[in-house]
Amino acid sequence: MARRQAGTAQTVSGSACAAMVAAVLWLSGCGGGSGESAPDGGSATASETIEVGAEQPAIAGTTLSVPSGAGVSAGSLSVETQPAGERAATAQAAVEAEPAIHMAVVEYALDTIDEGGIHPLYGPVLALGQAEFAGPGIELGPSGTRFAQPVTLTVPLSALGVTDPAGGLPLLRSESGAWEVPATFSVDAAGGTASVEVTHFSLLQWLRNAFVAPQQTVAIYATGAVQATLARLRQDNLQRFAQATYCSGAAPSTDLDGIPSLPDLLDYLGFERGAVRSGQEDALKGWIQAQHTEARAGRGAFNSITLEGLYEHALQLNGGDVFKALVTAHNTLRDNRNLGSVQDMVENYRGDGGDERGARYHFFGMALYSYAYEHFQAKAERLGYAGAQLLIGSTMKPETVATIEEGIVSGDIVSDITEYAVDLQGAKLGRALFSQIEGQTPEALASAFGIDAEQCGSIVFTGVFSGLNFDGSVALSPDEADIQLSGDPEQPTISWNGPPATALAVLDLTDISGPGVNPVQLFCIRAREDAVSGTDIPFASPVAYGNANTTAFAPCSDAPAIAAPLQSGRTYQVSLGTEQASATIVFVLD
């Protein structure tokens, strides 16, 4: 028998709901079947009703209606609260402990596919990923009792914490100990009750937050609101990020085998479970905060770090790994979404006075998911689509994820169309970064996107410049020096012509007025020590200024936590030592 969610306040016809699901491919809260409150073919009959009293406070007011044709007397039945210690801590933990719960929702999705109750492929994963226990487990006894006609259990919504008519889903243990979604259930928001018809007794558990109706998304697309919002946002993201990639000085090349599976990414992005980290989040945070310090001192502007500028520095920190750069930018913005010293420095992208903090990290979150999606799609094509079945989740398009994210996880799309549009832009960018940026040489990028090297932030020195090279020769111009600076003048990439280094330091010499006045140490790193031999492990060129915390080297013990940006008109010294020799440059930025 097809399952029915009967009598909900938001019921629409099965055919209309199916059409909407086909259009947007996401979770649905559409009512199924005819919307009747009685089983197919049923009629009103005399029944006995029992009510749970104050002795069961968690479910007080719950009633059990037993029709005369059920074949069992109501007086022989019991409705009790499941002891708290017998239930998993969360709905997600319950699913992990009993995968049959997931299979029950899959079966329900397949049974109601024509009504569009829930998408059978990814719907159960997302429904259970966000679902919560609605009230306590309810033990219906004696366990194993069967009824000739369904009996109806009605629970007050106050006991379940369910407010959305499309948000409640009951699960019932079968006689074999597995789980099932009962054939007919309803949530009556106006009446303040949730009801379920059962044909046997065991353990019943309601879930909440399991459905969201898709009508809103269809409506805003029909009115053109999403398209209009997209047209209002910036249109040249690919060009900007291509230029940022070129100007980073790093060749864009991703460790594709290190990209987590799409389900793992969804779990992290949507529900913050698991850990998808690059290891460079603290370094990027420090870089942002250093500029915040300068802005507070009046030497810089707030909201001056563009999204592509953030990505450019993250790309430098990650040695050109595009995926890790997106992860770094996303994590830094999300981890510090309530930290003013980070958020106040990043540009206001949406420009409508709305939630900039959420939009910024959503943009990068969708970009990194979309980048991973394109990788797995390409891998699936190489394997052939039989082998592609092994790539679980690879069919879940980024645009669908954006719809789910804004329609289910974060709230609803109608109240914030702009954030949804930003998500879609992030998804579009991630696709393009994979197809048009990944693996390209700087020369190819410059040619494809018409990038002029002069468009990059370039290091320009005043007439004050001198250097001592590794071989002891004196360098009187930047071209002659073994130590080279490139990229962003305030946060340059430091490279050298020579063997791996054991130490590197950047000093500010500007305020040295005489003997006894020491330079200010801005940045200092040293070789890490081998845990077994105790010997130093030299680090190779290049190094991003300000990045003192990687697996390649260690910060000096007296180095500041945040490396301040270099400023024009000030005198700096960069010193670098290897196991054989040392080199130095002294300069004033123009």
**Which residue type, as a one-letter code, is found at position 455?**
Q
Tell me: the pLDDT tens digits for 463-501? 899 999 999 999 999 999 999 998 778 888 888 988 999
* Residue 34: pLDDT over 60: no
Q: How confident is the model at residue 2 (pLDDT cuts 50, 70, 90)?
A: very low
pLDDT of residue 295: 85
* Alpha carbon distance 120, 110 (integer Å): 6
pLDDT of residue 378: 86
Chain-centre distance of CA 229, in angstroms?
A: 22
- Residue spans of the domains in the chain: they are 4-213, 233-453, 461-589
pLDDT of residue 30: 30
pLDDT of residue 189: 82
Tell me: the pLDDT tens digits for 140-163? 999 999 999 999 999 999 999 876
Average pLDDT of span 562-576: 89
Average pLDDT of span 120-131: 58
> To the nearest whole number, what is the mean pLDDT of the chain?
81
Burial class from Cβ neighbours inside 10 Å (0-12, 13-18, 19+) for residue 251 reads middle
* Residue 19: pLDDT over 60: no
515-to-518, 570, 571 alpha-carbon distances in Å = 8, 19, 17
Topology of domain 461-589, per CATH? Immunoglobulin-like (2.60.40)
Of residues 436 and 489, more confidence is placed in 436
Of residues 128 and 214, more confidence is placed in 128
Question: Quick check: 68 and 47 in contact, CB under 8 A?
Answer: yes
* Residue 28: pLDDT over 70: no
- CB neighbours of residue 333 within 10 Å: 28
Token pair 């299979």 is found at: 103
In this predicted structure, which of 259-263, 387-391, 462-466 has the lowest mean pLDDT? Answer: 387-391
Residue 432: enclosing H or E segment and its boundaries?
helix 417-432
pLDDT of residue 291: 84
* Alpha carbon distance 525, 170 (integer Å): 58
* Residue 10: pLDDT over 60: no
3-state DSSP call for residue 538?
coil
pTM: 0.57
Question: Quick check: 179 and 104 in contact, CB under 8 A?
Answer: yes
Q: How confident is the model at residue 384 (pLDDT cuts 50, 70, 90)?
A: low
- Spell 130-154 as b/e; 16+ CB within 10 A means b: bbebbbbbbbbeeeebebebbbbbb
* Residue 421: pLDDT over 60: yes
Of residues 128 and 292, more confidence is placed in 292
Question: Quick check: 510 and 519 in contact, CB under 8 A?
Answer: no
pLDDT of residue 252: 93
Question: Quick check: 150 and 116 in contact, CB under 8 A?
Answer: no
* Residue 541: pLDDT over 70: yes
In this predicted structure, which of 23-37, 121-135, 211-225, 443-457 has the lowest mean pLDDT? Answer: 23-37
Average pLDDT of span 77-90: 91
Of residues 449 and 531, more confidence is placed in 449
| Beta-bridge partners for 574 | 506, 585
- Percent pLDDT > 90 in the chain is 46
Q: How confident is the model at residue 1 (pLDDT cuts 50, 70, 90)?
A: very low
* Residue 100: pLDDT over 70: yes
- Percent pLDDT > 70 in the chain is 80
Q: How confident is the model at residue 128 (pLDDT cuts 50, 70, 90)?
A: low
* Alpha carbon distance 515, 200 (integer Å): 91
Tell me: the pLDDT tens digits for 176-232? 778 899 989 988 888 889 999 999 999 999 988 765 444 445 455 556 788 899 999
Q: How confident is the model at residue 136 (pLDDT cuts 50, 70, 90)?
A: very high
pLDDT of residue 427: 95
Q: Is the peptide bond between 555 and the residue preceding it cis, with omega within 30 degrees of 0?
A: no
Tell me: the pLDDT tens digits for 306-315? 999 999 999 9
* Residue 431: pLDDT over 50: yes
Q: Is the peptide bond between 542 and the residue preceding it cis, with omega within 30 degrees of 0?
A: yes
Burial class from Cβ neighbours inside 10 Å (0-12, 13-18, 19+) for residue 574 reads buried
Question: Quick check: 549 and 555 in contact, CB under 8 A?
Answer: yes
pLDDT of residue 207: 87
Average pLDDT of span 558-580: 87
Q: What are phi and psi of 475, to 5 degrees?
A: -110, 120
Question: Quick check: 132 and 91 in contact, CB under 8 A?
Answer: yes
* Residue 331: pLDDT over 60: yes
Q: How confident is the model at residue 404 (pLDDT cuts 50, 70, 90)?
A: low
Please enumerate in sequence order all residues whose Cβ is within 8 A of that of 217, keeping only pairs 6 or more positions apart, or say none. Answer: 24, 26, 403, 407, 413
* Residue 27: pLDDT over 70: no
Of residues 111 and 81, more confidence is placed in 81
Q: How confident is the model at residue 125 (pLDDT cuts 50, 70, 90)?
A: low
26-to-79, 85, 124, 401, 502 alpha-carbon distances in Å = 36, 35, 11, 9, 54
Q: What are phi and psi of 467, to 5 degrees?
A: -155, 155
